[in-house]
Amino acid sequence: MEAVVTEALPNAMFRVRLPNDQQTEILAYVSGKMRKNYIRILPGDTVTVELNPYDLTKGRITYRGR
């Protein structure tokens, strides 16, 4: 699911906004391979997020768009 990073939080967490009608914001963390390869994420970046099926307010960032 595509999303836009709105805020960088401590502990490599990010607040991202989903592109639906309610403008829902969720908490997301960086996936392991992105951490390992030092991929930087800044507010305003477009990212791909996997949502947690048990808690839809949390997710994992798996890709940073160009």
pLDDT band for 66, please (50, 70, 90 cuts). confident
β-pairing, 13-17 with 46-51? unpaired
User: Which residues make Cβ contacts (< 8 Å) with residue 2, sequence separation at least 6?
Assistant: 19, 46, 47, 48, 49, 65
According to the model, what pLDDT value does residue 51 have?
Answer: 94
Give CATH for domain 2-64: 2.40.50.140
Q: What is the mean pLDDT of the chain?
A: 93
Domain boundaries, the chain: 2-64
Residue 6 has pLDDT above 90, yes or no: yes
